[in-house]
Amino acid sequence: MKALDTIRRFAKSRENAYRLSGFLTESRAKAITTIRKKAEFFSSKGDTVQLKVVKQLEPQILAILPDEQSRFAKLRAEILHILHQANTLPCETDSTSSC
């Protein structure tokens, strides 16, 4: 599935779009940097680990998500689908995991 590869490409494209339009704020830049660093680090891990990282990155992803009326509506739907998959992961039964 490679969810983090998709998220990383999404963050890079949003960074370019914000930069070209002049709307790249400090908070958006910080969110994009966080997404790209974590996505790059965990991209070689399994699907379950990647979805857990996506769940952790949800606030940053939502901060740069395009508007539903924009021309990137299809990309938005794909990213929301990945977020939905991450949020529907079953919780592990050991005492060290948190849901």
> What pLDDT shows up at residue 58?
97
Q: Per residue in 20-59, pLDDT tens?
A: 999 999 999 999 999 999 999 999 999 999 999 999 999 9
> What pLDDT shows up at residue 54?
97
List the domain range (segments joined by +) for residue 56: 3-86
Q: What percent of the chain has pLDDT over 90?
A: 82
> What pLDDT shows up at residue 39?
96
> What pLDDT shows up at residue 91?
75
* Global pTM value: 0.87
Q: Is residue 93 part of a domain?
A: no
Q: Is residue 17 part of a domain?
A: yes
Query: What is the CB neighbour count within 10 angstroms for residue 63?
Result: 16
Q: Is residue 91 part of a domain?
A: no
Q: Is residue 56 part of a domain?
A: yes
Contact 63, 49 (CB under 8 A): no
Report the domain count for the chain.
1
Angle (CA) 9 89 92, round 5°:
125
Q: Is residue 92 part of a domain?
A: no
* Residue 96 reports pLDDT greater than 90: no
| Residue in 94, 3, 14 with CA at minimum distance from that of residue 57 | 3
